[in-house]
A and B are shown apart, each in its own frame.
Chain A
Amino acid sequence: MSASRLAAGGSDIDRDRPLTFTFDGRRVEGFAGDTIASALLAGGQTVVGRSFKYHRPRGIWGSGVEEPNALVDVEGAAGRVPNARATTVQAADGITVRSVNASPTAENDRNAVLDRFARFLPAAFYYKTFMWPDWHLFEPRIRAMAGLGVVDSDWQPRKVSDQVNHHCDVLVVGAGPAGLAAAASAAAAGHSVVLADDGAHPGGSLRHRAGEVDGVEGKAWVEVTVAGLKGAGQLVLSDTTAFGLYDHNLVALNQRHADGRPDTLWRVRPRRIVLATGAIERPVPFANNDLPGILSADAALSYLRRHGVLVGREVVVATNNDSAYEPALALAAAGASVTVVDCRRDGGAQAKTRIRVLAGRTVAAARGRSAVQGVLLDEGTTLAADCVLISGGWTPTVHLFSQAKGKLAWSDQLAAFIPGEAIGEIAVAGAVAGTVSLSDALASGAAAPGDFGSSSPAPRGTGTEATLGVVSLWPKPKARGRVWVDYQSDVTARDVELAARENFVSVEHLKRYTTLGMATDQGKTSNLNGLALLADITGRGIPDVGTTTYRPPFTPVPFASLAGSRRGSMHVPVRRLPLEANHRRAGGVFQEYGGWLRPAYYGGGEADASIQEEARRARQSVALFDGSTLGKIEVIGPRAAEFVDFIYYNTMSTLKPGHCRYGFMLSENGVVFDDGVLVRLDEHRFIVSCSSSHVAAVHARLEEWRQDRFGRDAVYIHNATAQYATLTVSGPNARQVMEALDLGVALDDASLPHMAVAAGRFAGDEVRIARVSFTGDRSYEISIRADRAEALWARMQQEGRAFDAVLLGLESLMILRAEKGYIVIGKDTDGTTMPHDLGVAGPRTKRADEFVGRRSLFTEAANGTDRNRLVGLAVREGEAPLATGAHGVEKRDGRLRSIGFVTSSYQSPALGRPVALALIERGPARHGETIDVQHLGVVRQATIVAPCALDPEGRRLHA
């Protein structure tokens, strides 16, 4: 191949802005407007990559998204992009481009030797060998050979990708003649239009193919039309690929930016979709049709007219249709010697001068090793060539239509599948719809918006109209030599034959068995040739063979586009306490607990020591704790009492106003879903205080049962969790601190006994004081408007100082509650735990009314005696705490089995020994029994005891 840049020409490039970059270490010169591929061609780079399997040398085939060969790793200002398609990435000054799957360079690849063993490595050979002695022996080497580009492991994430939601009346995909006509028609009718095209400039084929529209040269018409659209405020997106057509007509587009910004994801919801996605030129089957220097005829024309690159001097064009003649003539006019090998006996009748036409002839084989040097014709003649252009007909780009579950129809006339019956508000126009001439493309485009189009006449092609006249030229069984069907996956016609012989005759089997169409180009150039060959082998028609399923994305989409701004702290953001800043100033060390960021402990010291110290001091005098995450869901209404009875396992309607009660909520399967305290403020008003991490779920369940069973008028539910901060004073001196706060509430035990509630005031704001305890000590929870909590917290600390008050993080609170045997749902229970497993059997046996989950408490399993039940575990004096997650084990029938596990385990500073909670099979019936407890293979002994290890009489609650 002797491609070169011509002295003039090239509508896309700016010869005043030269640039240089390197390819495999070699310097390449180009101009602004070049793609990497056009610059490589201009620089005479024939071999640009190596194939996936055999490491065959490969050159540039196409000029757009269909490119199977020219994949490169690009290192630019914005970091590395592995597996970039050289035909669609703009060249830029200073970038480093490397071929993929080649070492050290594409031209001299040390693995090229593999191709010599190709006869032993047919399609799917790996299923037939590497079994003895073991696949694991072979896999590492095969793995090392696999893959294309190289990931940069030092890569740093850049600015996040923008994601744009957009609504419009009409989305037109493809800005070729049909797409432009469609967009113009919809815009003229006053509708909002988005016109998206995956090229750097709108125009499609009009950018490099001859054509006149309404008497104007095609390119000029494109410019006027685009300017008109933009002037009318319509959105015209270049470098933007519509990659997915999803449910309810959502179209996903990926927009690339030339200025180094990360790509943008567009989610467009049009009322009507016009697919003017064009068609892709197919290869012609002949032996060695993969040699570098063999490329799409249309691509060659594009490189000539858009980049001023002449792809060869001595050119053979192999074709079965008329569309190859414009490239042939243009290259001849640019100085190449051109011979067209047209398989049609009447082919080339329209070619007048400058080119030689061999009608009724086909190419049997290409000659050359790392670049094409000539072709052998079917009748035995050899033609010298430094470049072979091939045009095997056009495959409509039906991908998006098929993604939308549109059915395809076979067209004998076009030798291709085209969209069948229209679906919903999705129209097709132009080459994808099977049009050939410019006039037909424009007319179908103008009509495509349907009710969204204008009635003004469609633009008309006024010059020479394109014809196709394609005859089928499919790969044939038993052909001589290696006829390549899928370039990137290295699938030959013989591989397809082998698959068929082995009964892989379903098209999906063919694809999976041979990997045909599974490469990064997703078979854009190869699928139809493969199907046609399979049809021939199996004696079926091509439509009977059908196609594989088209799946998104049409072209690969950057992960970064899909992720958008959901990165770092924006990925499922944590919830934060109103007093976070105060806790941080106090030395709080934060961790995430159930979606909330909360202080684990305070002080800069070693974690364990700090936590032990907090727990120790809390029992001595007084502790302050921020419990704002606790759920506060109000249940209000005439049937509120009945409602909470139904929702809770425990009877709640007997609760007196001004009091609260601890209870469980069950799921309908009888499993404990949440626990907490229910406050009754008055006859018809309750507050559900649920676990911090369950607030949303509890709220949703309350709403569900309310709407399902009680009705809007009967109960009203309001989640006030975020509106209040809840600050807790706990410990033997809690009451003294509370007195000092002066909240206007009588704190004597007669007025405010344990499990009572009172209303007070702090600095003019109403506060609610609940005497409930999660520490086992006398405790007061004060709930206050979240925005007024700071002053109260400051005051609490100030008044607490006299009592050596300690701030409790969540970790020390966990110790305090475990000493008391108080459970945490989801930690000390699992997805099987029922209330009677936790020692609360009363309502199960006594309640006569219905409640959520009741029936499930009486299944065979629920009645079983082998259930895991809550117990405490004690270890011998002086031993360290058991590991949380350790399992109780026993041998039965010679086999080790689990009899439950440790759910919580801590060193108790108050007791000076470890405490542990566990769910153990038949636990409560085994108090006093010593069991084996295994953690990571090490077995210890523990004795089953009651869950409550500290103050079982509960005196401290009232101390």
Chain B
Amino acid sequence: MQLFPCPFCGPREESEFQYGGEAGNLRPDRDVTAERWADYLHMRDNPKGPTREIWVHMTCGEFFAMSRDSVNHKVSGSSVLGDVEHGR
């Protein structure tokens, strides 16, 4: 059971959270090419190692950004969504 730091509630168990996608995957403007849309919709960096992701703490309903390592699962921090992380 991992502990994730909700910026609003503090550390909570992983089962209270849901993954919301890679940070910085900004929604493109309308009428983009099919390839660009597919890129937004489907293509992922899926990094092995340090990663920055959007998560939602389901018990408070807030989305936030979290930095962690996808291999050793160490969490290095979390923050309220800034402009850069907006995007799913």
Contact = CB atoms under 8 A, between A and B. Distances in A.
A856 B41 contact: yes
B59 to A, nearest CB: 12
Contact of A707 (B27, B58, B62): B62
A861 to B, nearest CB: 10
A311 B86 CA distance: 72
A703 B41 contact: no
B32 A855 contact: yes
27 contacts: A246-B1, A247-B1, A248-B2, A248-B3, A250-B1, A700-B18, A703-B56, A703-B63, A704-B56, A704-B63, A704-B88, A707-B62, A707-B63, A707-B81, A708-B63, A708-B81, A708-B86, A708-B88, A709-B27, A854-B30, A855-B30, A855-B31, A855-B37, A856-B41, A859-B34, A859-B37, A860-B34
A955 to B, nearest CB: 41
Interface in B15-29: 18, 20, 27-28
A704 B25 CA distance: 14
A710 B87 CA distance: 11
A700 B18 CA distance: 10
A267 interface: yes
Interface residues of A, number: 21
A704 B1 contact: no
Nearest to A717: B61
Interface in A223-276: 246-248, 250, 267, 269
A700 B58 CA distance: 8
Nearest to A267: B1
Shortest 6 CB-CB distances between A and B: which pairs?
A855-B37, A247-B73, A707-B63, A247-B2, A250-B1, A248-B2
Given A700-B56, A709-B27, A856-B37, 8 more contacts: A247-B1, A703-B56, A707-B62, A708-B87, A855-B28, A859-B34, A859-B37, A860-B34
Q: What's the interface size class on B, roughly? A: 20 to 34
Contacts of A669: 41
Interface string B68-88: 000011010000010000111
Residue of B18, B34, B61 with most partner-chain A CB within 10 A: B61
A269 B61 CA distance: 26
B20 A704 contact: yes
B1 A248 contact: yes
A707 B60 CA distance: 13
A850 interface: yes
A267, A405, A700, A860: residue with the most chain B Cβ atoms closer than 10 Å: A700
B48 to A, nearest CB: 15
Contacts of A855: 28, 30-32, 37
A668 interface: yes
Contact of A248 (B34, B56, B73): B73
Task: Give the most central of B2, B27, B87: most A CB within 10 Å.
Answer: B27
A645 to B, nearest CB: 14
A572 to B, nearest CB: 13
Contacts of A247: 1-2, 73
A854 B32 CA distance: 11
A856 B32 CA distance: 11
A405 B34 contact: no
A957 B58 CA distance: 40
Nearest to A246: B1
A269 B3 CA distance: 10
B43 to A, nearest CB: 13
Nearest to B42: A669
A405 B18 contact: no
B30 A850 contact: yes
B4 to A, nearest CB: 9
Contacts of A854: 30
Contacts of A269: 3
B77 to A, nearest CB: 14
A248 B32 CA distance: 42
Contacts of A248: 1-3, 73, 75
A704 B87 CA distance: 10
Contacts of A267: 1
Contacts of B72: 405
Interface in A700-716: 700, 703-704, 707-709
